Structures are given as structure tokens and as C-alpha cells.
Structure 1
């Protein structure tokens, strides 16, 4: 059996309704896992879960606002009840609001902190509670947090987004240390995706042009490609394959790590 075979594993993917999250959910199901998609986008999330089921996967949807503590508790319990456990948690939900530092809006800053930092923190909290011995699932497992190449480079227009993704790096490492020290049996890692032409990635390019950093969205994307040794933007499957790896037994002795999936941009 391949080390990447996730048959029998149960996963929750936050922000899984569309974009990178939907791609991660699909990749996990193709590796054999049952998947619950958690998202505030209920119709899109239900459609994505339905499409996965139509393709033969075991997939469900649960409404999840990652900034709400009680909502997390309920979503984890619904996940365990609907697919029989929880072995993999992918903290993917996130927001990016482009701005020059001189134009930062406190409301935008709070939103990014709430979704990207608080959301990941609550995911770790409730994921640990479920997967540790005595929890609702109780068999250990793996958490994969989605950071960003923005945590490793200085790119104009994304200061607060970069700060929140840097925070995810630290959360990942401390969580891995706590899990090991306390015997939870949960590995915690993160990936640093490069710019990917999803809805969020395309909007970032458009926003960078709008605030005057580049003459056009295409020029913004070309600037990123120019900084990337592999000479192209990332694709969803590049990121999703890395998540499957970190969730699998092929990574059984890896925890507290941040894996760049950025074509070399952040090296």
C-alpha cells in the first residue's frame, strides 16, 4: 500500500467550498479519505461536497465560521458524527485584503487577524480536543495549516496578510511542541503556498494594480513569476498534493515543519 494512501482517514477542510480548499478536499478524497467541508459559504460548500460524492467520494458539508468558538465545537462534533471520526484537519480558511501600510483600515486588519490567526488558533484548539486521547475521535492524527509564501518574503501591499501568515508559522511550531509534550499523538505542519490563480490570487493581482503597485493585474502576476525560479505560478494541485503528503504516513516523522510550495520564490 502506498504511504500516500489515506483510505479510512477522516478529514475536515476549512474554507473548502472553493479555490484551494476545494482542491485540497478533492485531493484528500482521491487518496481515499472521507472529507467534511467547513465553510461560511453554505451553497457553494454543499455544491462542492455534492460534486465529490457524485465522483464517488465520501463527502459532507458543515457550516463553519472559523472565528466562532462555539461554531468550531459544533462543527467538529458534526464531523465526527457524519464520517465516523477525525484524523486530519486542514486549517485552510483565510482572507487577504490588499493595502499599502499608509492606507490600512483597522476593520480590515481585524478581519484578517480574526479569520487567519484566531481561526487557525481555534482550529488547533478544537482539533486537539477531538483527536487527543479521550477526545471525540481520540486516535491522534495530523493537522496541516495553510500559511503562505507571504510569510517568508517582503512583497508590497500585503503587510498584514503577511503578518498573519507569519503567525501561522509560529502557531504551527508551538502546537507541534505541545502535542508532542502532552502525548496528543497529533502531528502539526504547515505549507507555504505561492501565488495561485484562484479567486483570492486573482483578486490580489487586481488589487495590487488598483493601488498603483503595478500597471495591470497581469503585470503583478508576471512580477511574481519573475521572482519564482520555476518560472510559473502555482496550481491548486501543487498545493493539494503537499497537503496529502503531510497528512499521510509518508510524513509520519515530520512535525512542526513549514513546507514551501512556492516554486522557490521564498528561498
Structure 2
């Protein structure tokens, strides 16, 4: 009997290296784990060396190939030094996930200007800061995958988070612009827009009985997302399975944005 031919999975990331920013916890770490399970070598990033080291140790314990590189995504000098270090000392960045982000809640009329600037720098400017030097290397190689993290608030808003929603809307259109500029060089640039996920950043909301009940009633699936449920979308957009997908915003929100 003739042996069946082995066809590689289009989702296999073996031989690829992924840099995931803001990946010491939460959705960033969950996506890093999923990419590692698909075969990618992982470069974790955060500013907190202690948290970053602990995350790297835990991920390495699963058998993943992991490096940890601490740098500040809001500092262009820090980013440029880190990208050069990774490319020269660790290996080429084939996949970039721009996940680093923050939230600050306040009524808009009382929103502290310094916090507005911090939200813009962390959620929006950082995407440019990291993507540009990484993309230059990808362009030289004629291939690369960039995944930006948007939000269902790229399309909507709620009281007290107008600056956050503004950044996520901007990241969505920056994603499209990156795809338009860089697709001809062999890059795929897409975004994931998560809904409400049960993460540390949303801990206060999870503990708010009224808000929790609203999420469960407002989301057609009737619950919060779990961090590991974002992994499949990341693997899809990082893999050959999405090679003709470019400039797309993939909502992973339990049908939140599909209903009124």
C-alpha cells in the first residue's frame, strides 16, 4: 500500500519567529502561547523585567523556544535598539504582533492631558514606532506578517474612554494604510479587534456586578471571551492560511458588534 503524502498545514509556523509586544500577561501572552503551539519561536516584550522573565520562564516550560527582550514601545530609541538586537543576535522577525496598550478611564471634560498623551503614545504611536523598523527588515526579505490589536471600540465608544476608542479607531485605519503601502513588498498587515475579554486589565469591570451583567446580556454569546480564544485568530493571520488577507480587521467579540 502506497504511503499517503504528507501535506504541511497552512497554519504551521515552524521556522518562524514572532515578536509580541506587551506580552508578559493577558491577551499578549495568550497570543504568544498560541503562536508557540503552532511552532513559532517567540520573543516576548514588556517594560517590567520581573514580569517578563516570569512569563518567559512559564512559556519555555511548555517546550517553546522563547526569548525575552525588555523595551519601551513608546520610545523610538528603545525600540530601534531592541529591533536591531533581535535581528542581529536572535534572528529575523517574521511575525510582529503590536499588542502593547493601556486604558485610563475618566469623563472627557476631566480627562488629564498627560494621561491623554500617554494613551495616544502607548496605544497608537507605539504601533508606528515598532512596525516601521521591523517592516524595513521584512521588506528587505520580501515577506512578513504584522498583526495590530484593535478593539470593538475601533467602531464604538462608551462613557469615560473616548481617548482609548480614538486610538483604536486610528490603529484600524493605520493597519489599512500599512497594508496599502507594504503589500507590494510581500507583507501582510491585518488587525484583530477583541471584544470584552476576561483579563487583568478588565479586572475592575469583571468585579462590577452591574457591568458584568450588561456584558453577558449585550453579547449574543452571553459571556466574556477567554484569553486563549484569541489565539486562533493570531495563528491564522500569522500563517500562510491568510496569505491573500491584507488590510483586514478581524473582530473576535462573540457577535457584540453584530447586534443592536
Q: Give me the TM-score of the superposition, normalised by structure 1.
A: 0.90
Matches within 5 A, 1:82-231: 82-133=89-140, 138-180=141-183, 183-203=184-204, 205=205, 217-231=208-222
Q: Secondary structure at the match of 2:43?
A: strand
Tell me the equivalent position of 2:254.
263
SS at match of 1:169: helix
Distance 2:231 2:105 in 1: 25
> What is the aligned-residue RMSD (CA, Å)?
1.4
State yes or no: 1:254 paired with 2:245.
Answer: yes
Residue 139 of structure 1: how far off its partner (Å): 4.4
Distance of 1:245 and 1:235 partners within structure 2: 18
Q: Secondary structure at the match of 1:66?
A: coil
Separation in structure 1 between the aligned mates of residue 221 and residue 133 of structure 2, nearest angstrom: 38
Which residue number in structure 2 is paired with residue 213 of structure 1? none
Which residue does 2:85 correspond to in 1?
78
2:230 aligned partner:
239
- The 3-state SS of whatever aligns with 1:63 is coil
Q: Deviations over 1:213-253 (max 9, x none)?
A: xxx71211221222211111111111122111111111110
1:102 counterpart SS class: helix
8 Å CA contact 2:135–2:144 kept in 1: the answer is: no
- How far residue 82 of structure 1 moved from its aligned partner, in angstroms, is 4.3
The ranges of structure 1 where at least 4 consecutive aligned residues each deviate by more than 4 angstroms after the TM superposition are none
